[in-house]
Amino acid sequence: MKFEEIINKSMEKERISEEEALLLYRSDDIHTLGKAAETVNRRINRSYAYFIVNRHINPTNICVNRCRFCAFSRSWGQEGAYELTIEEILEKISSSEELLTEVHIVGGLHPYWSFDHYCRILTSIKKHFPSIQIKAFTAVEIDYFSRISGLSIRDVLMALKDNGLDLMPGGGAEILVHNIRQRLCPEKISADRWLEIHKIAHTLGIKTNATMLYGHIESLEDRIRHLSMLRALQDETGGFQAFIPLAYHATDTNMSSSIASGIDDLKTIAISRLFLDNIPHIKAYWIMLGEKLSQIALLFGADDLEGTVLEEKITHSAGATSAEGMKKEELVYLIKRTGKVPVQRDSFYNPLKVYDE
């Protein structure tokens, strides 16, 4: 099938195959691709572009895994290793300039913290800030909690939910292809395990996101395979809220690579929007794309910029040049300049304020 036929097919709400998505990736016609993705996006999200007033918190960078692409983690006792106390976490929330509606919590797999300690982080936040929604712990952490506590994944998730977990972020997915994972992050949970944990979360009513780390050793076929696994799970559960492509940053990692080009970033956003016809939101994570390219991505099929973030360590350890946080007004400005309507949302995409004046 030709490029134009595939574009027409996806605009006519027909699902595109892996081979067709690959053909789109191999085309250089990013204008047509972006226009099609934006048409599909507007059908789902109208002219809205979302953001959230949130803060990212990484309770520790001490991690028993050594993923080759990770510049954030440290071993126990290594220079630069840190662990926040619960009081320090609460202090970060209370001292935030913005009125937060969400905290996003992910971190290393700490060799000595108990599962109870992770639960206490959630209960303490909910006790002091009952209205804040908590998006916390990747499938990689959930698997680790199951191993250190002896509980099943289901029981771990139910305990976290009881202690205040509202939804889960999409990290740790990297590329859901076995031989790539073996080279990227051999100690990390398998692709099947990542998908299984999200499936269990969905069956318990916990919404999750999904990411894809791209621009390292993977091929275009691997990226499409990854998207295909997510689409298949979403057909079964409907539990993914958003998909977030993450552009690889290589500084201070054990895996060199040139940073993905702006063209590759925009193509990835657009193809994600066209291929993942069952996931409602595509996030252009401004921390990784940069402020200006994420603004353009809103015209290439993305409908969400993530949020104020306020403190970002994972990508900045690996050479990100974006700011570490943005003010709400700056996000509103970036969105307005695209001609879209900025919408401050909560963690479940309920609008809190629509800037349509």
Which of 1-9, 18-26, 66-74, 83-91 is the region at the interface with ligand SF4 (rule: CB under 6 A)? 66-74
Judged by CB under 6 A, the residue of 35, 66, 161, 313 near ligand SF4 is 66
Shortest approach of ligand V47 to residue 320 CB, angstroms? 8
Q: Rounded CA gap, 290 and 227, in Å?
A: 23
- Is residue 73 a contact residue for ligand V47 (CB under 6 A)? no
Q: Rounded CA gap, 339 and 325, in Å?
A: 23
* Nearest of 161, 261, 267 to residue 204 by alpha carbon: 161
* Nearest of 120, 117, 122, 88 to residue 105 by alpha carbon: 122
Strands 133-136 and 208-214: unpaired
- Is residue 67 a contact residue for ligand SF4 (CB under 6 A)? yes
Residue 191: CB partners within 8 Å, gap ≥ 6?
Answer: 176, 177, 178, 181, 229
Q: Rounded CA gap, 252 and 313, in Å?
A: 13
Q: Of 246 and 341, which CB lies nearer to ligand SF4 in the complex structure?
A: 246
- Is residue 314 a contact residue for ligand V47 (CB under 6 A)? yes
293, amino acid identity: L
- Is residue 290 a contact residue for ligand V47 (CB under 6 A)? no
Q: Of 7 and 184, which CB lies nearer to ligand V47 in the complex structure?
A: 184
Restricted to residues 107-166, the positions that interact with ligand V47 (CB under 6 A) are: 138
Q: What SS3 class is residue 103?
A: strand
Shortest approach of ligand SF4 to residue 138 CB, angstroms? 7
* Nearest of 250, 244, 188 to residue 217 by alpha carbon: 250
- Is residue 72 a contact residue for ligand SF4 (CB under 6 A)? yes
* Nearest of 133, 148, 62 to residue 101 by alpha carbon: 133
- Residue 214 bridge partners (DSSP): 247
Which partner in ligand V47, ligand SF4, none is near 268 (CB below 5 to 8 A by kind)?
none
Judged by CB under 6 A, the residue of 10, 41, 209, 234 near ligand V47 is 209
Q: Rounded CA gap, 168 and 111, in Å?
A: 22
Give, for 124, the enclosing helix (H) or strand (E).
helix 115-128
Q: Of 7 and 285, which CB lies nearer to ligand V47 in the complex structure?
A: 285
- Is residue 73 a contact residue for ligand SF4 (CB under 6 A)? yes
- Is residue 65 a contact residue for ligand SF4 (CB under 6 A)? yes
Judged by CB under 6 A, the residue of 105, 282, 299, 318 near ligand V47 is 318
- Is residue 315 a contact residue for ligand SF4 (CB under 6 A)? no
- Is residue 71 a contact residue for ligand V47 (CB under 6 A)? yes
Judged by CB under 6 A, the residue of 41, 60, 253, 268 near ligand V47 is 253
Q: Rounded CA gap, 102 and 341, in Å?
A: 21
- Is residue 276 a contact residue for ligand SF4 (CB under 6 A)? no
Q: Rounded CA gap, 271 and 225, in Å?
A: 13
Restricted to residues 125-184, the positions that interact with ligand SF4 (CB under 6 A) are: 140
Shortest approach of ligand V47 to residue 287 CB, angstroms? 7
- Is residue 70 a contact residue for ligand SF4 (CB under 6 A)? yes
Which of 40-48, 62-70, 278-286, 303-311 is the region at the interface with ligand SF4 (rule: CB under 6 A)? 62-70
Q: Rounded CA gap, 149 and 173, in Å?
A: 23
Question: Is the CB of residue 37 less than 8 Å from the CB of residue 269?
Answer: yes
Which residues of the shown chain bind ligand V47 in the complex (CB under 6 A)? Answer: 69-71, 138, 169-172, 174, 209, 211, 213, 244, 246, 248-249, 253, 285, 306, 314-315, 318
